[in-house]
Structure 1
Amino acid sequence: MDQAAVRRACADGLRWTLLHAALWALFAGGRGWTLGIPTVALAVALSLWLGLRPPTMRAAALPAFLGFFLKHMWLGAWDVARRALQPRCPLQAAWHEVPLGDSSPRQRLLLSAMVGLLPGTLASRIDGDCLRMHVLDERLPWRATVHELEDHLQRLLGGAGR
């Protein structure tokens, strides 16, 4: 292994460590580091062993992405609360296929995971260039929201776009 490869592996290891530690801190509420440190170390080791490169983010796109995502998380919470308080709230559930833009498999996987956090949507699988998903009420503007999320992810992580 030449010196450049060693430097890249060390830089990747550091970035994976920061990413996995941040995820642990976020999901564990900053606690449980007795379990978190070995878990982060195993996740970093696995990432490096698989030869995965850590994702790169464009910092300039982060505020817009966070604003969009937090807004829609709040709208989703509001929708759930409204439906809980008004059980007769009409639903028009349906399955749909959403065509995806030119994005990497990693971005598509992240999109499918994040779609479930948007109001009334849940992704089930990716078939070729389509995301198969279930929506609680197909009368809501869910399709535009999914495409907007995809655009934000492509700006944040880099990609060709739709």
Structure 2
Amino acid sequence: MNYPDTFRRIFVINATKIFSMLFALVKPMLSQVDTPKIKIYGNDKNEWTSAILEEIDADQVPSFYGGTLTDPDGNSKCSTIYNMGGEVPSSYYLSNNGPVAKDYMETMVIIAGAGGKKKMKYKVDVPFSVLRWEFMTEGGDIRFRVYTKNAKGSTKSRKGCQ
């Protein structure tokens, strides 16, 4: 199968020596196609600035990183244009209470031991209907498979649902 590239180039700037050593350990496990796309630079601003500007137009790079772009208020890091992270709001925290069904969900609790199975049948009367499901588990993996049966009674496994 052919999948498109997931990235064009990754720049790691101001990398510590420890990061560089760890990357050297991980590098052999990366795809030979992706490895040349990852560029790691230490604290030499001239080196990484020129590398970035070879790939990206200066008017698209914040001036803090060697380009010419600034916020309307003159901020050289362009924090109103690029979100550089920060503190995660507590509303995004996950609880330790396990999965919770959303209000719109019809829920069904199924308890199955390791390797257990549960078969469910649904009759779909409207052609081209879309069936959707969402699984939640407190631990372990879930596998599922969808079979369809036509009016003649023949059954087939649906691709992408295994």
Q: Which has the higher helix share?
A: 1
Larger radius of gyration: 2
Q: Which has the higher strand share?
A: 1
TM bucket by the smaller chain? under 0.3
Relative contact order higher in (CA < 8 Å, ≥ 6 apart): 1
